[in-house]
A and B are shown apart, each in its own frame.
Chain A
Amino acid sequence: DAGITQSPRYKITETGRQVTLMCHQTWSHSYMFWYRQDLGHGLRLIYYSAAADITDKGEVPDGYVVSRSKTENFPLTLESATRSQTSVYFCASSGSGASYEQYFGPGTRLTVT
């Protein structure tokens, strides 16, 4: 029972490169979310998706692109990485029930040099 997985777990890239972070869940949850977590800022929502082919911006979407062609996958792409995007990225998912609780993946630590 894998639940929700993220890959890679660690990534070092250079400024200007494109990077894609992967998220996969096995619960058939409708909702999926991408957050970044930085000291002093806590968890901030980047993008979320209510279902396949339905995505919406969160609090800090600039510089990021998402897609969701399949319910179970929700990749996050940094089109041209910047040093300010150095962070820990968490993917989360939630069912379509009324309780709204979210379950988090293990995270990806991204460093942009």
Chain B
Amino acid sequence: QKEVEQNSGPLSVPEGAIASLNCTYSDRGSQSFFWYRQYSGKSPELIMFIYSNGDKEDGRFTAQLNKASQYVSLLIRDSQPSDSATYLCAAHSGYSTLTFGKGTMLLVSP
């Protein structure tokens, strides 16, 4: 069974710090990986996706992929209280479907 694992948290960081969110996946055939942000009571919102080994940067967000270690991470620089949310990692699992992790809660304190 294809699985995506995330630490449930909460991960607590002070405002202005770097938040590091991590994810591992079981299916070596997965090619694309996604990070979603979900505020309490809201729907998941796509932040970014990555499919090549290495880093991909978009503003304050950097996604990192290591296929050999089956590891994906999301770095949030200059964390803001408005970044407090649950972050979902997902892996492409075939036929255009995604397998989601259970999410990591991030708390950014002022």
| Residue in B43, B95, B100, B103 whose beta carbon sits within 8 Å of that of A107 in the complex | B43
Asked if B102 is at the interface of the complex by the 8 Å CB criterion, the answer is yes
Asked if A27 is at the interface of the complex by the 8 Å CB criterion, the answer is no
Interface stretch, picked from A65-73, A75-83, A95-103, is A95-103
| Contact-residue bracket for chain A | 20 to 34
Number of B positions contacting A (CB below 8 A): 20
Asked if A90 is at the interface of the complex by the 8 Å CB criterion, the answer is yes
Please determine whether A102 and B43 come into contact, CB atoms closer than 8 angstroms: no
Given contacts A42-B88, A94-B96, A104-B44, whether A99 and B102 have CB atoms under 8 Å apart is no
Residues of A within 8 A of B96 (CB): 31, 48, 50, 94, 96, 100
Given contacts A33-B97, A45-B97, whether A100 and B43 have CB atoms under 8 Å apart is no
Asked if B32 is at the interface of the complex by the 8 Å CB criterion, the answer is yes
Residues of B within 8 A of A40 (CB): 102
Please determine whether B102 and A41 come into contact, CB atoms closer than 8 angstroms: yes
In Å, the complex CA distance between A101 and B46 comes to 8
Asked if A53 is at the interface of the complex by the 8 Å CB criterion, the answer is no
Given contacts A42-B88, A99-B49, whether A104 and B43 have CB atoms under 8 Å apart is yes
Please determine whether A100 and B101 come into contact, CB atoms closer than 8 angstroms: no
Residues of A within 8 A of B67 (CB): none
Report the minimum CB–CB distance from B20 to chain A (whole Å).
20
**Which A residues form the contact surface with B (CB < 8 A)?**
31, 33, 40-43, 45, 48, 50, 56, 58, 90, 94, 96, 99-107
